[in-house]
Chain A
């Protein structure tokens, strides 16, 4: 029996992870993500899982990659400064194709910034934080229930496509409490990585070059294979042949491209006949939704498009909307990051107005309503 519970976003992320099969957590304390570590420390020993508080965030992501290689479902959670420290090993998880989930509860940056206030300044870092072209998927919950749902989804994507998946929340989503009815565990879709059948002839990185995902053996099961952050051929051993690198990198890129139709997700309200389209994610989208409803009540044809998958961005759906609206408004708690992607995707079919807020406060619906009315200043 599931019944309504009052819970905060960080708690919902943790419960989602546990429901998806989380059995290894490594992390380092950082506001505003710490509740996730605390709940994992409490729950994991009860279910045969492991928790470790590492010496820093670099060690945390390293430990979860190691754990994942033994077959565990592993996660860490952090905020801006820690997310910055994790970047090198996020690239490692990408090139070595190790499923891991990272929850980034955004706060105001750069640097130590404003630890206890919300922001959305990690949009681009979540995609491009580590060096080189690399595969990554970024999901953005817009309320507490979605923290649960999208964390489950993050694990499923990580397992199905063997890559790091980031759940991008913020201080408000993480700490806000809402009444939530969680789905029955038996009704949840839970994916597990494909494993090879037997050690004989196992080539750990042999896959269809058109975005294929190779089966992943566990360490300690007799496969005796090699994993490296160097470019490698299908045997897993390093190669510095240009064509090997080229094929490999293109396969990683293609893996996410091909996955996009299956993983993309977004929420819309009142977009059927709208002239003004508001595009927002996370807590900015909560204020945006109120603003759109107030605008409708005032007879203004406004609508909301809220991407739940930011990377890859649900391009087709937004492009189709951009063709028929008169203007697009992008409120975000940064100086214009998601807006860059909206401008690219909409291809200037409709003018894009950025509404930025970087004072550590949430948008008030009136601020967005003013932008919808066109009298924002």
Chain B
């Protein structure tokens, strides 16, 4: 316990999330994964955008950056490219990552930049009190979908894989050990990693859709989640109405900041003998 708590800013607690919210569970899984890997507190940066998910970094004892809506990955890209030695983690939500931040999400994946992205997917905009998001299932209710959502939703795992992420996992706030395990592996992957954590929003998603309280919502996850390994031997009719959790993709590829550094090393070797011109900015060296 103390190993885990040392990564929290205890004086910032209690958190602002509603009773029964799953975001604390996801944050706990992240911190336990960090504790297990014994990451140096001084070499971790956690970045977030806007929304319920994005309040998480404020409770964590690292360098933490709470940015603008949807832009966490773009800020994080600047940090990681500047300091490839830092472990950069982005905590985001379904709206933050896939609506307003969708462009940055696919491009961070395409570059395979070494950032671990935890998407807390509660299928709704919680901070603004219950509007539908690109991850709200079709037919579900939101305050801006009073007759049922008519839009299709993203499959975040497939989106991440198609865009180039090299590690992709999915779990829920019910499957906490699976979640922690996936986050641990995501942190170890040198490349763009995405862990989608389905979390319950009893206050808006639950009430609006009469899904019950947090317990019923967690039971809903339990009843419908199938581990990808188990699914491999299940018939399509048995998988009807289920969703997959576990490690969805794990294929390491060259990482962006390392590739950039390798290119720059080559350029510097070629220009080492170079005199004059615009060189001579010694104060640049960092």
Are the CB atoms of A220 and B286 closer together than 8 Å? Answer: no
Interfacial chain A residues near B43, Cβ < 8 Å = 220
**A72 nearest CB neighbor, chain B only:** B82
B147 at interface (Cβ–Cβ under 8 A)?
Answer: no
B233 at interface (Cβ–Cβ under 8 A)?
Answer: no
Are the CB atoms of A22 and B79 closer together than 8 Å? Answer: no
Output the least CB separation between B27 and chain A (Å).
Answer: 15
A226 at interface (Cβ–Cβ under 8 A)?
Answer: yes
Known: A45-B264, A56-B103, A223-B63. A24 touches B78 (CB 8 A): yes
Are the CB atoms of A59 and B284 closer together than 8 Å? Answer: no
Q: Which of A62, A219, A222 contacts B74 (CB 8 A)?
A: A62
Interfacial chain B residues near A13, Cβ < 8 Å = none
A212 at interface (Cβ–Cβ under 8 A)?
Answer: no
State which residues 16-72 of B face A: CB under 8 Å: 41-43, 45, 47, 57-58, 61-68, 71
**How far does the alpha carbon of A21 sit from the alpha carbon of B64 in the complex, in Å?**
26
State which residues 188-238 of A face B: CB under 8 Å: 190, 192, 219-230, 237-238
Q: Which of B117-125, B188-196, B204-212, B275-283 contacts A (4 or more CB under 8 A)?
A: B275-283
**A88 nearest CB neighbor, chain B only:** B68
B229 at interface (Cβ–Cβ under 8 A)?
Answer: no
Known: A47-B284, A48-B285, A50-B260. A66 touches B75 (CB 8 A): yes
**B276 nearest CB neighbor, chain A only:** A1
Taken residue by residue from 122 to 135, chain A's Cβ proximity to chain B (1 for < 8 Å, 0 otherwise) reads as 00000000000000
Interfacial chain A residues near B12, Cβ < 8 Å = 237
B159 at interface (Cβ–Cβ under 8 A)?
Answer: no
A291 at interface (Cβ–Cβ under 8 A)?
Answer: no
**How far does the alpha carbon of A72 sit from the alpha carbon of B47 in the complex, in Å?**
18
**How far does the alpha carbon of A64 sit from the alpha carbon of B284 in the complex, in Å?**
15
Interfacial chain A residues near B284, Cβ < 8 Å = 18, 21-23, 47-49, 73
Are the CB atoms of A63 and B68 closer together than 8 Å? Answer: no
**A238 nearest CB neighbor, chain B only:** B58
A58 at interface (Cβ–Cβ under 8 A)?
Answer: yes
Interfacial chain A residues near B85, Cβ < 8 Å = 220
Are the CB atoms of B57 and A220 closer together than 8 Å? Answer: no
Are the CB atoms of A55 and B103 closer together than 8 Å? Answer: yes
Which residue, of A59, A185, A230, has the highest number of chain B Cβ atoms within 10 A?
A: A59
B267 at interface (Cβ–Cβ under 8 A)?
Answer: yes
Are the CB atoms of B74 and A63 closer together than 8 Å? Answer: yes
Q: Which of B42, B74, B283 contacts A220 (CB 8 A)?
A: B42
Interface residues on B, range: 35 or more
Output the least CB separation between A1 and chain B (Å).
Answer: 8
**How far does the alpha carbon of A68 sit from the alpha carbon of B83 in the complex, in Å?**
11
Interfacial chain A residues near B283, Cβ < 8 Å = 21, 190, 192
**How far does the alpha carbon of A298 sit from the alpha carbon of B48 in the complex, in Å?**
64
B175 at interface (Cβ–Cβ under 8 A)?
Answer: no
**B110 nearest CB neighbor, chain A only:** A55
**A68 nearest CB neighbor, chain B only:** B78
Are the CB atoms of A63 and B77 closer together than 8 Å? Answer: yes
Are the CB atoms of A59 and B79 closer together than 8 Å? Answer: no
Interfacial chain B residues near A112, Cβ < 8 Å = none
B140 at interface (Cβ–Cβ under 8 A)?
Answer: no
A74 at interface (Cβ–Cβ under 8 A)?
Answer: yes
Are the CB atoms of A26 and B45 closer together than 8 Å? Answer: no
Output the least CB separation between B91 and chain A (Å).
Answer: 13
Instruction: List B residues at the A interface (Cβ < 8 Å).
Output: 12, 41-43, 45, 47, 57-58, 61-68, 71, 74-79, 81-83, 85-86, 103-104, 107, 260, 263-264, 267-268, 271, 274, 278-281, 283-286
Instruction: List A residues at the B interface (Cβ < 8 Å).
Output: 15, 18-19, 21-24, 26, 43, 45-50, 52, 54-56, 58-60, 62-74, 88-89, 92, 185, 190, 192, 219-230, 237-238
8 smallest beta-carbon distances between A and B, as pairs: A66-B78, A63-B78, A62-B74, A59-B74, A45-B264, A228-B66, A66-B75, A67-B78
Q: 8 interchain pairs (CB within 8 A)?
A: A21-B284, A24-B82, A45-B267, A46-B274, A47-B284, A48-B285, A50-B81, A59-B107
User: What 8 new A-B contacts, CB under 8 Å, besides A48-B264, A50-B82?
Assistant: A15-B278, A45-B260, A45-B267, A50-B81, A59-B104, A65-B75, A66-B47, A220-B43
